[in-house]
Structure 1
Amino acid sequence: MQALTRPFGTLHVEVDGPAGAPAVVFANSLGTDLRLWHRVLPLLPQGLRTVRYDKRGHGLSAIGGGTVIDDHADDAIAVIEQIAGGPVLFVGLSIGGLIGQVVASRRPDLVRALVLSNTAAKLGTAESWRARIDAVTGGGLESIADAVMERWFAPTFRAGPDLALWRAMLTRTPPAGYVAACAALAGADQTAATQELRLPVLVIAGSEDGASPAAVVKATADLIPGAAFHEIAGAGHLPPVETPDAWAALVAPFLKAHADV
């Protein structure tokens, strides 16, 4: 457990692996914290330095700002420069993938390769995010939790005992942090910048993803010259949780190839 001081407060960071090793920075999705990656870390190449962090307003990080995507990109850049060292391999899921696109566009010197999982250059519409904000403001995260679980996970996973843990993670997210991230998503459109990216990119979708449908994810992959696209059958919005072996089977060789480990 490590604290990174930011203008708005403290950012919670977890670092594993040897100092000086090639670093991989992980950015998680809306309504989750850095535990999103627990199941896949043991399946990734040995010898890497993994750096995970809670977005502002999520997990153990402080609440403050975060209503525009550049706020979150600034945090990721600070993590890379002050803790991970650059350039890094950047792995982002959902809003984490959008953050990765912004960082790679703004600071190509800091990102050597990019994994975009269950994400897109533009996620949803301003109207849909405004409706989400209104729902949370009026009824709290509990009021949307069941609908979110249906978008996050395929039916088989939803029928199992682990669902309760992820539902709890969502509902225990500070509402102010969640709403701020929704506002950031409402105003974010990286389409023009993402099609200018020129670095190795792996793009992953889930066939059962109700939040970022596979066709939307593929459309973003198609924007980036040379990007590789894979769809995981039976996976929802969080394949590192639901199908960790299949997700790691795609990501591990990509990281190995671009980290030289």
Structure 2
Amino acid sequence: MKKIGSGLAPNSNDRGICSLNVIVRSKGFPILCLHGHPGCGESMSVFTDHLSERFQTLAPDLRGYGKSLTQNDFDMTDHLLDLEALLEKLKIKQCLVLGWSLGGIIGLELALKRPELVSGLILVASAAKPRNSHPPVSWQDLAYTAIASLINRAIPSWQWNIDNFAKRSLYRYLVAQHTPSAYKYLADNGMTAYLQTSKPATRALNKALRQGYNRNEALALIECPCLVLAGDSDRHITAESSLETAQNLRDCEYLCYPNTAHLFPWEIPDQVLADIDRWIESHPQVVGRPNCLGAGGNGE
């Protein structure tokens, strides 16, 4: 398999490797779960709580997020260096990669740069050429979002708060189904992840976006099985851009969930997890089981 350089912003100097904080759960074939922006390893619990029942899950805080904080500016390519070092440290020679939003883009880059490390890709609300349809943000949006977040943190999933503040806030672009489940995840994971996202991480992402990130032409080089999941009302990374990614991948299944947005794993977790389970069962090689579903693997 051919390796290809990263389409992310290039390194401008040697900043070294960041030792990532990582949540490792259970044993078995490893699944590397990569969060988005803002995010952290804990925000991937909707996946790791379920997948760790059968596999080993690794949920790192990417550089500049969660407990992997830095005061220094960095480039997006540094995430790849950190992940390569993490997998080497854990003696993992191959893993299934599940990436949400920015995590999906980093997963694509890892598969292009180090194809031997990636047995399969699950891209959630992500795209190789991400496009958005988010309207301009007003001061009222910010005010309602702050109020809704504080109340939801104190009283998770309170319907009065959802109806009076959240549905008028920026949350209306993040979720289409204002369910108690979605707001419980926002209270438990969302606000903490937002507060722990550093300015260098935001600057690194904005730099890559300004440069017009587009890896569609390189996707044919990815040979492993892929699953692309999208929400049809996603304003942050549109379903159309996710579909375009799926169409450019050689071995890919695409699913688009109606009446869901960018945080659809928190809106309809049971359906999303069931579809991931089904896809893994139909592609046993992605978890080290090329011959039969009952065989085990540990990625070593």
2:35 aligned to 28, 31, 34, which one?
Answer: 28
- Aligned residue pair count: 240
* Residue identity opposite 1:59 in structure 2: G
Aligned counterparts of 2:126 and 2:199: Cα–Cα separation in 1: 22
Q: What is the alpha-carbon root mean square deviation over aligned residues?
A: 2.9
Q: Contact between 1:124 and 1:186, CA under 8 Å: does it hold in 2?
A: no
- 2:237 maps to 212
Shift of 1:164: 4.7
Shift of 1:61: 0.5
Aligned counterparts of 2:248 and 2:204: Cα–Cα separation in 1: 28
Q: Deviations over 1:192-218 (max 9, x none)?
A: 222321110001001221111111100
Within a 5 Å distance, the mapping from 1:1-261 to structure 2 comes to 7=16, 9-18=18-27, 21-44=28-51, 46-63=53-70, 64-67=72-75, 69-83=76-90, 85-124=92-131, 149-157=171-179, 161-162=183-184, 163-165=186-188, 166-187=190-211, 188-256=213-281, 257=284, 258-259=286-287, 260=289, 261=296
Distance 1:222 1:25, change over 3 A: same
Q: Show structure 1 runs of 5+ residues with no match.
A: 1-5, 133-140
Aligned counterparts of 1:84 and 1:24: Cα–Cα separation in 2: 14
Q: Show structure 2 runs of 5+ residues with no match.
A: 1-14, 138-144, 150-165, 290-295
3-state SS, counterpart of residue 216 of structure 1: helix
* Residue identity opposite 1:178 in structure 2: T
Q: Contact between 1:55 and 1:72, CA under 8 Å: does it hold in 2?
A: yes
Aligned counterparts of 1:171 and 1:11: Cα–Cα separation in 2: 18
3-state SS, counterpart of residue 244 of structure 2: helix
Aligned counterparts of 1:84 and 1:237: Cα–Cα separation in 2: 33
* Residue identity opposite 1:150 in structure 2: R
Shift of 1:158: 8.8
Q: Deviations over 1:92-126 (max 9, x none)?
A: 1111111111111111110011111111102248x
Shift of 1:79: 2.3
Q: Deviations over 1:152-206 (max 9, x none)?
A: 2225149975345524532442233222223234333222222321110001001
3-state SS, counterpart of residue 55 of structure 1: coil
* Larger mean Cα displacement after TM superposition, 88-97 or 225-234: 225-234
* Residue identity opposite 1:154 in structure 2: A
Shift of 1:70: 1.8
Aligned counterparts of 2:52 and 2:68: Cα–Cα separation in 1: 28
Distance 1:168 1:158, change over 3 A: farther
Distance 1:45 1:62, change over 3 A: closer
Aligned counterparts of 1:12 and 1:182: Cα–Cα separation in 2: 23
Aligned counterparts of 1:121 and 1:23: Cα–Cα separation in 2: 24
Q: Contact between 1:203 and 1:217, CA under 8 Å: does it hold in 2?
A: yes
Aligned counterparts of 1:84 and 1:254: Cα–Cα separation in 2: 26
Q: Contact between 1:51 and 1:84, CA under 8 Å: does it hold in 2?
A: no
* Larger mean Cα displacement after TM superposition, 172-181 or 221-230: 172-181
Shift of 1:84: 5.7
Question: TM-score, length-normalised on structure 1?
Answer: 0.80
Identity score, percent: 24
Task: Point out the structure with max Rg over C-alpha.
Answer: 2
Distance 1:41 1:31, change over 3 A: same
Q: Contact between 1:33 and 1:55, CA under 8 Å: does it hold in 2?
A: yes
3-state SS, counterpart of residue 32 of structure 1: coil
- Choose between structure 1 and 2: higher strand proportion: 1
Shift of 1:237: 1.1
